[in-house]
Amino acid sequence: MGELRIENLSKTYRRKEGWNTTRLLHVFRNISFTVEDGEFVSIIGASGCGKSTLLSMAGGLAEVSDGAIYVDGNPVTGPGLDRGIVFQEFALFPWLTVLGNIAFGLKSKGVPQRQQMEMARKYVDLVGLNGFEDYFPYRLSGGMRQRVGLARALAIEPAALLMDEPFGALDAQTREAMQTALSNIWMKTRNTILFITHDIREAVYLSDRVLVLAGRPAQIALEQKIDLPRPRNRFDPVFQKYELDLERAIGTH
């Protein structure tokens, strides 16, 4: 586990308009926040506000225009095994089994083969896929594939876990089940998680804190601590008040 720190982060795109004109598109500007060791923080906001771009920058997959990102005090300059990433797309290797997919990152870390399988089985158990170790992805449901993706990201034991709308492609029932599963897993592991979602209820259910990105260029319009015991009751009046407050924060910017 570790600390993820964002300092004065900005993202600007240059667009050519005609032969001699360049237009600057400022996605977000001077964003700063810290995800503490073992904390679960979600970012929500309207479509196009830069949520996924920010996470890609934290993952070292997108260029930083200005500012800096640190994991445990070390600057992020590109992809690295100190960060695990789970995307909305399942991104599994179709030629590898569940165990093979989970163990893939361990091989990159230089973990001996026997230990790879031992660790992969540990994370199979953690995400509730016992009995499916030898299945290939095409035989799994969407929720099960996303569990494999989560296990693969966790298996490398990253300092921070980055999740970009990981349940966005799932049906409502499966999505809610995966939220419960992730919450239970997080309570066991206490990983440092930065979670991107457009679903306010999902953010309230999962997070210690929720950040609202709004405006153009986007900035942090609200930082809301979610002071509720876990596991959380989605029908709790306090839970629903958090939802309403966050909805208003998005709608008024």
Q: Which residue reads 């995800």 in tokens?
A: 35
pLDDT tens figures, 154-207? 999 999 999 999 998 889 999 999 999 999 999 999 999 999 999 999 999 999
**Rounded CA separation 253/250 (Å):** 6
Q: What is the pTM of this model?
A: 0.92
Q: Give 125's contacts (C-beta < 8 A, 6+ positions apart).
A: none
136-142: average pLDDT: 94
Amino acid, res. 140: L
Are the C-beta atoms of residues 45 and 200 closer than 8 Å to each other? no
Binned at pLDDT 50, 70 and 90, residue 77 comes out as: very high
Residue 211: helix, strand or coil by DSSP?
Answer: strand
Binned at pLDDT 50, 70 and 90, residue 98 comes out as: very high
Q: Give the chain's radius of gyration (CA, Å).
A: 19
Are the C-beta atoms of residues 162 and 58 closer than 8 Å to each other? yes
Sheet holding 66-71, edge to edge: 21-35, 4-17, 66-71, 74-75
Question: Which run of H or of E encompasses 154?
Answer: helix 142-155
**Rounded CA separation 242/218 (Å):** 22
Are the C-beta atoms of residues 160 and 35 closer than 8 Å to each other? yes
Residue 167: helix, strand or coil by DSSP?
Answer: coil
Are the C-beta atoms of residues 148 and 98 closer than 8 Å to each other? yes
9-13: average pLDDT: 92
For residue 112, say if its preceding peptide bond is cis, omega within 30 degrees of 0: no
**Rounded CA separation 102/246 (Å):** 36
Bridge partners (DSSP) of residue 33 are 6
Q: Does 253 score more than 60 pLDDT?
A: no
Helix axes 113-126, 172-189, angle to 10 degrees: 120
Burial tier of 184 (Cβ tally within 10 Å: 0-12, 13-18, 19+): middle
